[in-house]
Amino acid sequence: MPGQGLLKGLGITMRNFVRPTHTVQYPDRKVGLLGAAKHAGQNPLKFLRENPREGIKALLYMATVPEKVEQATRFRGNEFTWYETRCTGCASCAKYCPLGIIKIVTHPGGIDVQEGESYAIDVFDIDTGRCMFCGLCVEACPYDALHMGSQFERGNYVRNDLVIDVDELRGNLKRPSSWYRPQFEEREFNPFKGKTIDEEDHHDAGRHEQPSPDELKQRWVDERK
């Protein structure tokens, strides 16, 4: 029948036209009056009265509200989460990084002397401008001291500003990704919701613990019995 192909094509177009869309507007979402009022926690009339300018924009569907994109808990953000209390300065992370972008400088820390002495950290630089988010450094860390982070809005105009140094690592908000960290998934920890796992909660960040000085002494005695 002539025109059958045309009708078929229009049918497909119409079907896609009414399908729900999955595109997320980011970082701001355009909203109408209802959306803007809901975001402000007001009813639409009150919102219009108290914010006439924004209200007119909302009536024209030109108001915007910030949009939070839902992320997977295993997202590999490269701001990194580091627990200094768990770190022995072994530099395994630096050795495993295929791009060689982790620089660690240490000095003998006088810690765990009987276990061979672990190191104190002087320099811990990660050049995230070259990082490819592979996470091998995190896999290599034997003490669960280094974790992938959960952030991604780290754009910058100066390459050198992308180098994370030890002070930044210390100060970073501790929202570790659960990637390669089953202990977080077992506890249903979500880096995007609820409380962070701060340095003082470092026990929660690892699968095993460094022995205490008393345990080390006891082990030394036991081994020589």
Among 31, 63, 131, 169, binds ligand SF4 (CB under 6 A): 131
Total site size for ligand SF4, rule CB under 6 A: 25
SS3 content of the chain, % helix, strand, coil (to 5): 35, 20, 45
Establish if 143 lies at the interface with ligand SF4 (CB under 6 A).
yes
- Minimal distance, residue 205 CB to ligand SF4, in Å: 11
Of 58, 63, 102, 169, the one binding ligand SF4 (CB under 6 A) is 102
- The Cα-based distances of 90 to 119, 127, 170, 206 in angstroms read 7, 19, 18, 16
User: Whole-number minimum distance, CB 88 to ligand SF4, in Å?
Assistant: 5
Shortest approach of ligand SF4 to residue 166 CB, angstroms?
Answer: 11
Query: What is the C-alpha radius of gyration for the chain, rounded to an integer number of angstroms?
Result: 26
**Contacts (Cβ under 8 Å, ≥6 apart) of 180:** 135, 138, 139, 148
Give the x-and-dash track for 45-74 against ligand SF4 (CB under 6 A): ------------------------------
Q: Angle formed by the axes of helices 52-59 and 33-40, to 10°? A: 140
Closest CA to 102 of 137, 77, 74, 141: 137
User: Considering the rule CB under 6 A, would residue 162 count as an interface residue with ligand SF4?
Assistant: no
Least gap, CB of 75 to ligand SF4 (angstroms) = 13
105 binds ligand SF4 (CB under 6 A): no
Tokens of 183: 């202990």
Residue with tokens 């909660």: 201
Please identify, using beta-carbon distances, which residue of 135 and 191 lies nearer to ligand SF4: 135
Among 126, 169, 197, 205, binds ligand SF4 (CB under 6 A): 126
The neighbouring-strand residues paired with 51 are none
Q: What is the secondary structure of 83-99 as a DSSP string?
A: -TTT-----HHHHH-TT
Selected binder of ligand SF4 within 36, 58, 146, 197 (CB under 6 A): 146
| Residues contributing to the site for ligand SF4 (CB under 6 A) | 87-93, 97, 99, 101-102, 104, 126, 131-137, 140-141, 143, 145-146
